Amino acid sequence: MTLIMAAPNGARKTAQDHPAIPVTDADLIETAVACFNAGAGALHAHIRTTDQTHLLDVERYESLIGALNKRLPNLEVQVTSEAADIYESEAQIDLLSRLKAPWVSVAIREILRSQEPQTLQPFFKQLLDKSRVQFILYDADDIQTLTSLVEREIIQTESLEVLYVLGRYSANQESTPDQLDPFLACRDRAPTHVKPVREMICAFGRGQIPCLLRAASEGMDVRIGFENGVWLPDGEVAKNNAALVTALVGLLPA
């Protein structure tokens, strides 16, 4: 069954972009409740400073996870380590090394910046021992990098999870379902022992839901929310994140 993950805010959008962007922890929790009730089984969480700036903070993340677990014990919670042009890889590594979280996302191209890959083997081992890790991949080069890290045993796991990102670097950040094809081709060429056991996609712009439907037809999980796009399939702007989840659920096969 397709897992739907809500991604309601991201690192960059603020309440000026849409009034329903959750920018406080309390708002994020209420949005999570609404998305869960609409059919989402997981949450991709970003936290913000008081001026709505992207934040990486161990204590805030752990407090948020605790509050979400209490309010929604059946919701899977994933926290981001995104740099967002604010944090260097050293800060991301420090966060992930200290954070107690059930599930984290890590962009391969970000975490390797200014790092010698071989030196990260202890870091990845410690991280994978304590958390589920979803590796974020933006293109075929990222897939090849991740494959190399696994083959060289810098990343050691038998449960490789990935998120393919569609449209992030396209013109006007617009995605189309065929942008999934290069990811699938790279995956299919990879040796069996480095193929991911769980795949998810997110897609930017107005093509978000059509791309997610294509991915679901391929047996993938999907991530939806205002982080990637605010448009319903008919082109109208959604009232809130839960409306996007509702629209997607209504289009997925029963």
Region label for 153, one of left (φ > 0), alpha (ψ between -120 and 50) or beta (otherwise): left
Total number of domains in the chain? 1
pLDDT of residue 76: 98
Q: Which residues of 205-219 are buried (b: 16+ CB within 10 A; e: fewer)?
A: bbbbbebbbbbbeee
pLDDT of residue 175: 96
What distances in angstroms separate CA 228 from CA 24, 94, 173, 195, 201, one per listed residue? 19, 27, 9, 26, 11
| Calpha distance 204→170 (Å, rounded) | 9
List per-block mean pLDDT (blocks of 10 residues) for the chain, which spans 254 residues.
96 96 98 98 98 98 98 98 97 98 97 94 98 97 94 95 92 92 92 92 97 97 98 97 98 89
What is the CATH number for 119? 3.20.20.70
pLDDT of residue 1: 84
Q: Are 46 and 54 in contact (CB under 8 A)?
A: yes
Residue 27's nearest CA partner among 43, 8, 55 is 8
DSSP annotation string for 176-201: -GGGGHHHHHHHHHS-GGGS-SEEEE
Structural element, H or E, at residue 132: strand 132-137
pLDDT of residue 172: 84
Range of the domain at 148: 4-251
pLDDT of residue 191: 86
pLDDT of residue 149: 96
For tokens 């209420």, name the residue.
30
Q: Determine whether 39 is exposed, middle or buried from the number of CB atoms within 10 Å of its CB (0-12, 13-18, 19+).
A: middle
What distances in angstroms separate CA 169 from CA 3, 83, 108, 175, 189, one per listed residue? 25, 16, 16, 9, 24
pLDDT of residue 201: 98
